[in-house]
Structure 1
Amino acid sequence: MTSARADAPNLPVGTGLNGLLSGLRVIDLTRNLPGPFSTRMLADLGADILKVEPPEGDPARALGSLFDNLNHGKTCQRIDFRQSDDLAQLRDWLATADVMVDSFRPGILSSMGLDPATLHARNPRLVMVSITGYGQTGPWANKAGHDLNFMALSGALDQMRAPDGSLAQSNVQWGDLAGGSAMATIAILAAVFAAQRTGQGRHIDVSMTHGLHAHLIMPRSTAALLAPMLGHRPGADEDMLNGGLPCYRLYRTADDRHLAVGALEHKFWRAACEVFGRPDWINRHWQRGALPGTPDALALRNEVAALVASQPLAVWAERFAEADACVTPVLTLAEAETHPLFAGDTGVQPWQAVPGA
């Protein structure tokens, strides 16, 4: 049994909010990405995280900076989950904890004597959150999977298509992070709040595939709106927010970069048209009847594309820099890291205290 700190001095905890969860004790049995990112957010907010790893360590350790980004601020302890003495020690830690988070397949907790009945007998207030690919029950409960599989089965991956209809494989792990980490963190905080009021913990099942499926709010809604007009459910380049609208679309520039035109509301489209120097485009907008698939919307997309393609990205970025038009350059990761928007930002936390509040 060994222990260590997973501190990353170059990744300081954010200012102003790092004590909000002070006193919350979390035992983290998760590995790789979804669970560790969830508990890292809790650590950033001041929770005391004990990360429990197998003897060989979390697989993310092999990737160095990934492990540091996910686990800074946590205390790390290694135990052998196959040894009864080590499992007894783990149960002792859980007897005084507020939260346990795991990412085992269904049934593994029970096989180690970490089932809800056993743990709640010693610690009724314990909140248990299990992050799985497909849920604790059902025909897929015991199947293995990774982010790409969760994306594929949830229906989310099918929504990520280029204008020609080809699929795009995202380098942001939406299933792991949106369907897993974010949903687990919400579940943890809600269950802890309830436990503080009632004295009773609970075991919550977080399925990453189901969590990601729940995010498909817009595709479901817009499909119901546009299908009667198109004669079919909108596909690639046909929906409200996937390129069907001229005012909400990616356009290629003269230097093979892209401009993100997100002027969804008419007031922003008006501002964009002023910068484009095309006041005649102002009323050619979906709020003026130019819905996806209509002849005018299709024609206008081509006109905007031709204009944007006439100049390099730097020209458009400069022209739109001061415009309140929801038009921005598509930055590379390296460019984003040096953009003034992120000046002094370590990328550790998405939140900070409002000065003077």
Structure 2
Amino acid sequence: MEETQEAVQLPLSAQSADKKHTKGSKMTTGALSGFKVLDLSRLLPGPFCSMLLADMGADVIKVEDPKLGDYIRWWPPKIGKNSGFHVVLNRNKRSLTLNLKAPEGKEIFRKLVKDADVVLEGFRPGVMRKLGLDYETLKELNPRLVYCAITGYGCEGPLALKAGHDINYLALNGVLSYSGKDGQPTLTGVQIADLGGGGLLAAFSIVTALLARERLGTGQFIDISMTDGALTWNCLRWGKFLADGKVPSPGDDFLNHGFACYNIYETRDGRHMSLGALEPQFWKAFCQTAGRPEWEQPHYFEPGPHQKTLQEEIAAFFKQKTQAEWIEQFKESDCCCEPILNLAEVMDNPQTQARRMVVELVHESWGAYKQLGIAPKFSLTPGSIRTHAPELGEHTDQILESLQYSREQLKTLRSKGAI
């Protein structure tokens, strides 16, 4: 039975939006509860990393410039006054505005570091050193500090100081060289280097360093290169290249449009179906459900000119019906044939709902919206959505008052542009 979800309005002292799904768990706090993260990063890689940590219970303080904050806040389209990107990426965090170029701002940050577990930043190499807030300086204040720097090309090498974006990182690490078909490379729909090579790898590395700290008693510096991180995603083609010596290219292999059994096919109504019948049992099931027993030949999984012929035949086959009709025909067949859904359909998909990957929330200003759910499901320490993405500087007074700053001092700091 499909589970229905009601929109949850999170109060200031918010409870988990996924509370009803974690009833009976032995711990009510996330696995990272009690860890404090100072996040200086902006845009996508760093905020995605700190979102993952915050979802698991970490107290993430988003340190932002008093004037502009994280630039992604202002990117259209917006939900209320905030960018939809910001709303998704910065849930469960507190926002502190701090001018790190002002002496008073540096002093506040150093005080926060003394009690922090993690500093996360995404500036070019050398920026934090110029501010006097680099790892070597901060570890003197807190030897147990884990410091993670996410950059495009890493902290060393000939490209270390060069600007770049996801497309450049994937171009230089080979991923784009064989992504595509008919010999033409293509862009990926998601930012693989930013998210996978950067944010996800950084979150894993931070948690690993925190575990190592419990054994060694000291923190350490983590150098995350988005180019390096996504380079490791070449593992399958890297291994094949080592074995056969053939440089990969678009459409040359069974996983990138080279084989008919693993491909995308257009339907009569202009939609598409995905076919991933790699193994013999799945290919057999597909051929049987399709009513095309003549396709069930051993050479279906061998390279050669016959693959193009088979692709053309299957393409013509899928053109005969609409996507909805194919969904109905293949729904009971275990042959790895599924429709390509758009995001609106994904949000309403029974599988997405069953996995609680859509959480319906209500904000007092923005109104109702659908937030991404939490992917890893922990049996004892589940993640939770406790608060909406913060307004710029929403928690500045709260955080500084915890450092014993008075109301009068806060007023002075604001007048100086330090917060």
Provide the TM-score with structure 1 as the length reference: 0.89
1:337 alignment partner AA:
M
2:310 is the counterpart of 1:291? no
**Residue in structure 2 matching 1:40, options 45, 48, 51:** 51
Instruction: Identify the residue that residue 273 of structure 1 maps to in structure 2.
Output: 287
Task: Decide whether the 8 Å contact of 2:73 with 2:86 is kept in 1.
Answer: yes
Query: Structure 1 unaligned runs (5+)?
Result: none
Aligned residues: 343
Task: Decide whether the 8 Å contact of 1:25 with 1:48 is kept in 2.
Answer: yes
Instruction: Identify the residue that residue 209 of structure 1 maps to in structure 2.
Output: 227
Q: Offset of 1:114 from its aligned partner?
A: 1.6
Q: What per-residue deviation string (whole Å, max 9, x for no partner) do you get for residues 250-280 of structure 1?
A: 1122222211100111111111111111223
Q: Offset of 1:297 from its aligned partner?
A: 3.0
Query: Structure 2 unaligned runs (5+)?
Result: 1-9, 23-27, 76-82, 360-371, 383-419
Instruction: Identify the residue that residue 182 of structure 1 maps to in structure 2.
Output: 200
Distance 2:60 2:11 in 1: 10
136-145 vs 335-344, which deviates more?
Answer: 335-344
Task: Decide whether the 8 Å contact of 2:36 with 2:59 is kept in 1.
Answer: yes
RMSD: 2.5
Instruction: Identify the residue that residue 32 of structure 2 maps to in structure 1.
Output: 21
Q: Offset of 1:104 from its aligned partner?
A: 1.0
2:341 is the counterpart of 1:331? yes
Instruction: Identify the residue that residue 349 of structure 1 maps to in structure 2.
Output: 374
| 1:13–1:112 distance in 2 versus 1, CA, 3 Å | farther
Q: Offset of 1:158 from its aligned partner?
A: 2.4
Distance 1:184 1:323 in 2: 39
Distance 2:261 2:157 in 1: 43
Q: Offset of 1:349 from its aligned partner?
A: 1.4
2:72 is the counterpart of 1:60? yes
1:283 alignment partner AA:
Q
| 1:35–1:107 distance in 2 versus 1, CA, 3 Å | same
2:292 alignment partner AA:
R
Q: Classify the secondary structure of the residue corresponding to 2:222.
A: strand
Task: Decide whether the 8 Å contact of 1:69 with 1:348 is kept in 2.
Answer: no
Q: Which has the higher contact order (CA 8 A, sep 6+)?
A: 2
Q: Offset of 1:141 from its aligned partner?
A: 0.7
Q: Offset of 1:164 from its aligned partner?
A: 3.2
Distance 1:71 1:188 in 2: 18
Q: Offset of 1:73 from its aligned partner?
A: 1.0
2:216 is the counterpart of 1:194? no
Instruction: Identify the residue that residue 108 of structure 2 maps to in structure 1.
Output: 89
Task: Decide whether the 8 Å contact of 1:284 with 1:297 is kept in 2.
Answer: no
Task: Decide whether the 8 Å contact of 1:8 with 1:68 is kept in 2.
Answer: no
Q: Offset of 1:306 from its aligned partner?
A: 1.9
| 1:98–1:9 distance in 2 versus 1, CA, 3 Å | closer
Q: What per-residue deviation string (whole Å, max 9, x for no partner) do you get for residues 134-185 of structure 1?
A: 0101111111112222222222222322x33333223311111011101101
Q: Offset of 1:79 from its aligned partner?
A: 0.6
Percentage identity across aligned positions? 38
Q: Offset of 1:120 from its aligned partner?
A: 1.4
Distance 1:277 1:268 in 2: 14
| 1:220–1:333 distance in 2 versus 1, CA, 3 Å | same
Task: Decide whether the 8 Å contact of 1:29 with 1:101 is kept in 2.
Answer: yes
Task: Decide whether the 8 Å contact of 1:12 with 1:348 is kept in 2.
Answer: no
Q: Offset of 1:234 from its aligned partner?
A: 4.2
